[in-house]
Amino acid sequence: MTQHLTVADFANLFGIKPEEMPKACLDMIAKGNWAYAPYPQVERDHIILDFLRRIRDRQFSFVTEGDKDRWIKGWGENLEGFKKSGDLDALTPKYIRPNMPVRLFGDFVKTEDPFFEKHWYAIFREWLLLTYVKGFDHIFEFGCGSGFNVARMAELYPKATVHGLDWAEPSVEIVENLRATKGLNVHGHQFDFFNPDYSLEVPPNSVVVTIGALEQTGDKNAAFMEFLMKKRPALIVHVEPTYDWYDPNSLVDHLAITAHELRNFWRGWHERLNGLQKQGKVEILKTKRAYFGSLVLEGFSQTIWRPL
Ligand SMILES: C[S@@+](CC[C@H](N)C(=O)[O-])C[C@H]1O[C@@H](n2cnc3c(N)ncnc32)[C@H](O)[C@@H]1O
């Protein structure tokens, strides 16, 4: 039976009331095709069997400390495309594939729009940036990748200084190019989560954003948390797959848990953060499981907090 994501569903997935949805996002929702349906059993079995085969054959890219070559290659391609065309669209990461099953409300669903996830994410990102990045003088995106979030934040908040940080050199070059060619108030810096650069200045009224970036740190993210506790930004916003919030009793979640482990995605962050909150050192303002994602996992769970 075909269903459609409504404004109320978007609000539920973002963790807000429908009346809090910004006008810009309502307009974007109105333009999309949000039709989806459960998979017929045979197709669903096929998806799950294929997933299990990938698990058995270890067919997942995985995080190893120091392995930045694939990022240099990927963002290098975006950099070349951007230099050639001068078009911000050239910064869209290439890893979003069409016609893939989508995770929605804890199950796999089939969507009419082949780019359902990409279009959903565009609305989610706009909402996130309009809601949590507003009113800050300095914006830092750590693990900024192709720079497409950096560019959007600089467009939305021209008075703010936007810093894009990544360990991959082409990312830094893209951000620097954005300033030179588009006149955006952005600055690129090289930065490694495993060895944070304490010479980086984080002025008062700064917000820190990570989007699908800390996921890449495995269990080696204590150094970056320590860095944040020292630098004390006013707000920290993570959009990351969150291991702790899957339901181990659900088959679909179990697959995500296994993929998360095989890929060596980040773990341990929430345990430490909860510990710091108990000690009165941080305030956790929002935690929201995504209940939306790709075939492999839910990449858009929100954790919003601040050092006290
Ligand atoms: C999945 S991409 C996400 C990029 C971007 N935030 C986005 O939303 O498209 C992960 C990013 O984290 C960066 N990264 C991975 N390990 C890192 C590390 N140790 N230090 C800094 N950046 C890292 C990668 O270079 C890549 O740009």
> What is the band of 283 on the pLDDT scale with cuts at 50, 70, 90?
very high
Q: Which residues sit with their C-beta closer than 6 Å to ligand 1?
A: 68, 71, 93, 143-146, 149, 166-168, 171, 191-194, 211-213, 216
Give the lowest-confidence range in 57-66, 80-89, 180-189, 210-219. 57-66
Q: 62-99+125-307, which class in CATH?
A: alpha beta
> What is the residue with the minimal CA distance to atom 9 of ligand 1?
145
> Residue 156: what pLDDT?
98
> Residue 237: what pLDDT?
98
Distance from C-alpha of 153 to C-alpha of 156, rounded to nearest angstrom: 5
Asked if residue 17 has pLDDT above 90, the reply is yes
> Residue 166: what pLDDT?
98
> Residue 186: what pLDDT?
98
Please tell me whether residue 144 adopts helix, strand or coil conformation. Answer: coil
pLDDT tens digit sequence for 74-93 = 999 999 999 999 999 999 88
> Residue 92: what pLDDT?
86
Q: For residue 166, report the distance from its CA to the centre of ligand 1, in Å.
A: 6
- Per the prediction, the chain carries an average pLDDT of 96
pLDDT tens digit sequence for 164-208 = 999 999 999 999 999 999 999 999 999 999 999 999 999 999 999
> What is the residue with the minimal CA distance to atom 20 of ligand 1?
192
> Residue 97: what pLDDT?
83
> Residue 6: what pLDDT?
98
72, two tokens = 């240099």
> What is the band of 131 on the pLDDT scale with cuts at 50, 70, 90?
very high
Asked if residue 65 has pLDDT above 80, the reply is no
> What is the residue with the minimal CA distance to atom 14 of ligand 1?
143
Q: For residue 213, report the distance from its CA to the centre of ligand 1, in Å.
A: 4
**What ranges do the domains of the chain cover?**
62-99+125-307
- Using CA of residue 5, residue 6, residue 11, residue 12, what is the dihedral sign? negative
CA dihedral 43, 45, 47, 52 (to 10 degrees): -170
> Residue 217: what pLDDT?
94
Which ranges constitute the DSSP H helices of the chain? 7-14, 23-31, 41-56, 69-85, 116-132, 148-156, 169-182, 222-231, 251-262, 269-278
Asked if residue 61 has pLDDT above 80, the reply is no
> Residue 185: what pLDDT?
97
Encoded amino acid at 301, one letter? S
**Mutation probe of ligand 1 site: the residue of 149, 167, 190, 225 with most atoms within 8 A of C-beta:** 167
Q: For residue 75, report the distance from its CA to the centre of ligand 1, in Å.
A: 10
